[in-house]
Structure 1
Amino acid sequence: MKTLFPIVALTVGALLTGPASSAQVSSLPKVKTTSFKADTVSIATQGAVADGLTVNTAAFQKAIDAVSQKGGGVVLVPRGHWRTGPIEMRSNVNLHLALGAFVQFTDNHTDYKLIKTSWEGVAAVRNQAQIYGQDLENIAITGKGIFDGNGHTWRMVKKSKLTETEWKRLVSSGGVTNDKKDTWYPSASSLKGSTIPEAFYLKPGKEVKDYEDIKDFLRPDMLVFARSKRILLEGVTFQNSPAWTIHPLMSEDIIVRGVTALSPEYGQNTDALDLESCKNGIVEDCTFDVGDDAICIKSGRDEQGRERGMPTENFIIRNTTVYHAHGGFVIGSEMSGGARNIYVSNLNFIGTDVGLRFKTTRGRGGVVENIFIENVSMKDIPGQAIIFDMYYMAKDPVPLVGESAAPPVIEAKPLNEGTPQFRNIQIKNVTCDGAETAILVRGLPEMAIKNISIENAVLQSQKGLVCIEADGIKLKNVTLLTKQTMPVMEVQNSKNITLDGIKYAPGAELLMRVTGDRSKDVKLVNTDTKQAKKSIEFGDKVSKKTVTVSQR
């Protein structure tokens, strides 16, 4: 019988071209792909009506169940405006949206049920995802249609994120505001949930029914496939999600190709793609424009994440453009199970708050290692072009008006299983036209960020390099065109730092400042120090022998 998307064992490395086609990549496991019978059932034959009014949940589910029970095939969503409640996928089903198909999830929150699940890396109670599947195999969502999550009926909105006119229009539409009148909530239930610390946590002794009074606060993700194998998402647009948009969880053999994710810039928690504790996959040719992180690698949070012990590993991510987002490519902050063997290439970030973003904090634990990134172009980045931050403060990366942008004071703590690690990360061929900081590396005094290489970069920004608590950092052929020239580079309590072939704008007040009594072995190589008014400034207790300047 004729098949769609025949099963093929793809070697991930074989799909790459250019410098990233290394022996390391070719050693990655094969990605197993989906395969479906050509047998097709249209939702229209199951009673669905495309009038934009009828809620077609039963028809969607009937078609999906029928196809799965017959051994698999295609569920067709024809052109038209289809309304539905949440739907559950089944194994061996390809849910295919024809060009012109617009599927809008209902704004009736009673259509959604609360379930035990995982969110932000911990056991949680949430409304079931709008598209949901668990313990499935061989599933796909394909086509050129659109899913709309009606997310504005779920999400709170900060006044600071809107213009005055937009805020007045939102408040007049209904809902409630908090006592400070600076945040709007779609309902009193949503507001109540916001007053409870970590309200979504599944606490000991609590059952799902105990969360009913804050149901509206426990927003559903748009798509969750948990503990599933062989997943294909191709061509479809997912927009206006209540929370995270696409969330594969503890799954494997995943292909996300040609997908678009759209949510308002002010849409809290509307991550585009969260790969959590997943292995073996490809993300390519996508477009993301959302209100939170875009491509995000996660693996559980704190003790629960470490107990799960499932890293996200063996992924190729390439040929993708990100517009608004808190981070373009992100690892963390929930990375307690670790992340490794991830190859990233050919990304564009345009107006993204932060470009390449690695974030964690004490208590997470986990090891992030063997990450390879190349060919990244950035434009108009309000925050950092590249950031490694082990003191993530769970706030927006771009401070709002009145918020302090100063880094927190960091004191040493004892090493334990909750101490996170970033190590062995290579970044090549990066440009950035406009950022607040070009490169920020901020480790912990008890655990330095280790073995980071950045090569062949041209970064235009306010600040250049800020390197704190790091070990084994190498910059080679990096141009730092900074507007703030005091200093171009700052190194604090770091060691084994090699700055090779650094270029900067002539006339800088100070090229480099080295501070911290634990700084040592800083090499400045093949760099013209005479273009700066002052080459190196040393802090208290820092010997001039800490820095060596040489030409090779």
Structure 2
Amino acid sequence: MTRFLVALFLCFWAFSPLLNCMSAEITCAGTVRMRNRPDVISISDFGGVGDGRTLNTYAFREAIYRIEHLSRKGGTLLYIPPGIWLTGSFNLTSHMTLYLAKDAVIRATQDTSSWPLIAPLPSYGRGRERPGGRYMSFIHGDGIHDVIITGENGTIDGQGDVWWNMWRQGSLQFTRPNLIELMHSRDIIISNVVFRNSPFWNIHPVYCSNVVIRYVTILAPYDSPNTDGIDPDSSLNVCIEDCYIATGDDLVAVKSGWDEYGIAYNRPSYGITIRRLRGSTSFAGIAIGSETSGGIENVLVENVSLSNVGIGIHLKTNIGRGGIIRNITVTDIYMDNARKGIRIAGDVGDHPDNKFNPNALPIVDGVVLKNIWGSNVQQAGSMQGLKNSPFTRICLSNINFGGVSSGIPWKCGDITGAALRVSPSPCPELTSTHGTGFCSVSS
């Protein structure tokens, strides 16, 4: 029966206009091709049972072992039929598509004692929350390429509440697992999937290149701790577009390592595109940092709509971070009901240990924020550089938070740049129009 269903699925794959369009090339922050896989298998072929009770860890690992060791030309698609497929964590392999049918749910077990431990990221030096190692992500990949996670808006459910409670109670021994983490990997597409209730960060590409994340929905309760939506980290050519995210922390946070460990590892995030994003959070809509020690350059954020956010746009770093934040462009942003519209700060984030170098000062240069509108914004913004490393070439252009109700003025210090057509009036450090070739107003 399973073989028959898979055969029907192959016919659907061949003739569906929607799926055929997936073979088109996506050109956003690099070129990644959505592939039709000639070989299709189902998790049911490996004894998987989608009843929400049966533990399917062995079935997932066996299916992926088969993909890896009996490799088919053009790769293999692992089909997840409708049902609730309870499983422990598992690793992906190269040349595979993980395809979730409509009403398919891959659900993480809440037996935390069975969760594998892995080494800390070298650019962090320890777990992000606790010293030592960390729990492996629910769906993991290391050193893989040509990998697709997609489907018909099926769900990957981390069942994170057990982990959130451990964090709140202070009983965590190691850093919580991400929902998906891909390391040292390239040519990745994640699309048309719902991610729900991650134990920690949701999607974490780290040391990766050519990653496209599009048409995904990411959901977690407003008060769930550290459930960042998408965190590209020390990665090259990452495109995030057409997504909806509502979580308990930053919706998208670009990172590149933590203090002396990130400085030593020296791997920047470069060529990051974020566009057509919607969402809400009590933290930041779009964040750069606070882990920026490897450097973050050439980031474009455009056409983002935010509601009920703590901070709309947040660039954050700290003494001891080092790293260069440069050539950041944020344009065409709308936010409604925000505590603060824009924040650029050099005093945010903790340290992994006391070995950080207080003379490792971050450099922030060339930040353009333009065409930004807000309603019900309590404070337009604050921009505070560092006394021994002022933030330079900060451009505010065509920004209107005219509905600021509390009258809290901009707060600025140790910055230079320009401001054109900004309401309410910006801080005096940015009011000069002298030498503002880098800063202009769109016609």
- Distance change >3 Å, CA 390–CA 184, structure 1 → 2: closer
Q: State, as a whole percentage, how many aligned pairs show the same letter.
A: 28
TM-score (norm 2): 0.85
Q: CA deviation at 1:522?
A: 12
Q: Distance in 2 between matches of 1:279 and 1:376?
A: 24
1:248 and 2:205 are equivalent in the alignment: yes
**What secondary structure, in the 3-state scheme, does the structure 2 residue paired with 1:244 have?**
coil
1:146 and 2:155 are equivalent in the alignment: yes
1:478 and 2:422 are equivalent in the alignment: yes
Partner of 2:102: 99
Alignment match of 1:454 (pick from 372, 396, 405): 396
Q: Distance in 2 between matches of 1:446 and 1:454?
A: 23
Q: Deviations over 1:355-404 (max 9, x none)?
A: 1000001000000011111100000012x211100011559xxxxxxxxx
Q: Distance in 1 between matches of 2:199 and 2:125?
A: 19
Q: Deviations over 1:271-318 (max 9, x none)?
A: 111100000121100011111111110000111111111111112210
Alignment match of 2:164 (pick from 120, 131, 155): 155
CA contact (8 A) 1:443 1:469 kept: yes
> Letter of the aligned partner of 1:425 in structure 2?
V
**What secondary structure, in the 3-state scheme, does the structure 1 residue paired with 2:68 have?**
helix
Unaligned runs of 5+ in 1: 13-29, 157-174, 176-182, 186-190, 194-213, 396-413, 481-487, 501-520, 524-552
Alignment match of 2:312 (pick from 355, 358, 370): 355
> Letter of the aligned partner of 1:151 in structure 2?
G
Partner of 2:140: 132
Q: Distance in 1 between matches of 2:177 and 2:38?
A: 32
TM-score (norm 1): 0.69
Q: Distance in 2 between matches of 1:433 and 1:291?
A: 22
Q: Deviations over 1:80-131 (max 9, x none)?
A: 1111111110001110001111111000112211110329833431111100
Q: 1:252-267 to 2 correspondence within 5 Å? A: 252-267=209-224
Q: Deviations over 1:25-66 (max 9, x none)?
A: xxxxx3333535231111012111111100111111222222
Partner of 1:312: 269
> Letter of the aligned partner of 1:43 in structure 2?
I
1:10 and 2:27 are equivalent in the alignment: yes
> Letter of the aligned partner of 2:300 in structure 1?
Y
Q: CA deviation at 1:8?
A: 4.0
Partner of 2:341: 385
**What secondary structure, in the 3-state scheme, does the structure 2 residue paired with 1:153 have?**
helix
Alignment match of 1:82 (pick from 81, 85, 103): 85
Q: CA deviation at 1:233?
A: 0.3
Q: Distance in 2 between matches of 1:464 and 1:433?
A: 16
Question: What's the Cα RMSD here?
Answer: 2.5
Q: CA deviation at 1:9?
A: 7.4
- Distance change >3 Å, CA 464–CA 299, structure 1 → 2: same
Aligned positions, number: 402
Partner of 1:466: 411
> Letter of the aligned partner of 2:148 in structure 1?
A
1:230 and 2:187 are equivalent in the alignment: yes
CA contact (8 A) 2:46 2:62 kept: yes
Unaligned runs of 5+ in 2: 1-9, 128-132, 352-356, 437-443
Structure of higher CA gyration radius: 1
Please, which moves more after superposition, 141-150 or 217-226? 217-226
> Letter of the aligned partner of 1:145 in structure 2?
G
**What secondary structure, in the 3-state scheme, does the structure 2 residue paired with 1:267 have?**
coil
- Distance change >3 Å, CA 89–CA 128, structure 1 → 2: same
> Letter of the aligned partner of 2:341 in structure 1?
A
Partner of 2:4: none
Q: Distance in 1 between matches of 2:409 and 2:368?
A: 19
Q: Distance in 2 between matches of 1:106 and 1:10?
A: 37
